[in-house]
Amino acid sequence: MTNISLNLSPLFFTINCVFIHVHSCCKSTTRTKNYMKRGHPYIDVFGKGSITMEKAVQTSQRTDQELSSVQFLTITAAFVALTYIFTAFINVKLPIAANGGLIHLGNVPLFIGAILFGKKTGAIAGGIGMGLFDLLSGWTLWAPFTLIIVGIMGFTVGKLTENPRHQNMKWYVIAIASACVIKVAGYYIAEVIIYGNPLAPISSIPGNLVQIGVAAVIVLIVINPLKPCSKKNRI
C-alpha cells in the first residue's frame, strides 16, 4: 500500500510528549541541587524531610543516574517507534529495483533522534526501528542487514554532530551525506550477498539517493526549531 502523505504532526507530537516527560522528571531533582549549591547543611529532598548534605549528595547522584536511564529509554523507545511508523506508513514502492525497492521517510526521525539525542539513540532507533519493519512487512531476509547498516547510519550521524561546535547546518549536511554513503554501500553489498549478482543492485542506488535526499531536506528544515528542547537531554 502506498501512502505518500507528508503529515509530520505525529513526529512533532511525540517529540513534545517526550520533552514534557523528561522535564517533569527533572523537577524532582532541581530543588535538591539548588539547596546544595547554597551550602545548606540540612535540606528537604522531594518534600520528605530534612537530611544531611552528605546524604543529599548521594541521593542526588543516585537520582541523576536513574533519571538518565529513564530519559534514555523513553527517548530511544519513542524514536524507535517513530522510525518504524514513518518507514511502514509513509513509503513508495519502486518496481524497477531488484529487491522491489522502497522509498520511505523512516530516515527523518532517525536523523532527528541522532542529531538531538546522540549516537546511541540514533543507532538503536535506526537499527531496531527499520529492522522491525523488515521483520513485520515481509522483508525478513533484509532484517539483519538493516539492523547493521541503518544502526551504523544512526551512530555516524550522532557521532559527527555530538560536538557542540558541530551543531550547525554544515555538519548536519556532512553527517547526513556520510549516512547516505553508508546506506548506498551497505545495501549494495547486502544485495550482492543475497542475489549473487554485482550488477543487479545498481538499480537500487537511485531510490536510496532519493530516500536520503528527501529526508535530508525535511530534517534540515525542522531541526533548528527542535534543538532548544533537547539541549539538556542529549545522550
Report the pLDDT value the prediction gives residue 12, as an integer from 0 to 100: 57
pLDDT of amino acid 192: 95
- In DSSP terms, 91 is beta-bridged to 3, 104
Residue 85 CA to its chain's centroid (Å): 13
> Which residues are registered as beta bridge partners of 43?
51
Instruction: Report pLDDT for 191.
Output: 93
Question: Mind listing the domains of the chain with CATH numbers?
Answer: 76-230 (1.10.1760.20)
What's the CA gap between 223 and 202, in Å, rounded?
32
pLDDT, residue 14, reads 59
Look at residue 54 in the predicted model and tell me its pLDDT. Answer: 57
Render each residue's pLDDT in the chain as its tens digit; 235 residues.
444 444 556 555 655 565 555 555 444 444 444 444 455 444 444 455 555 555 545 555 555 565 588 888 999 999 999 999 999 998 777 665 555 567 899 999 999 999 999 999 999 999 999 999 999 988 899 999 999 999 999 999 999 999 999 999 999 999 999 999 999 999 999 999 999 999 988 988 988 999 999 999 999 999 999 887 665 555 5
Q: Identify whether the C-beta of residue 222 lies closer than 8 Å to the C-beta of residue 112.
A: yes
Q: What is the 3-state secondary structure (H, E, C) of 66-126?
A: HHHHHHHHHHHHHHHHHHHHHHHHCEEECCCCCCCCEEECCHHHHHHHHHHHCHHHHHHHH
Q: What is the pLDDT of residue 201?
A: 87
Nearest CA-CA partner of 154 in 82, 205, 222: 82
Amino acid 198: pLDDT: 92
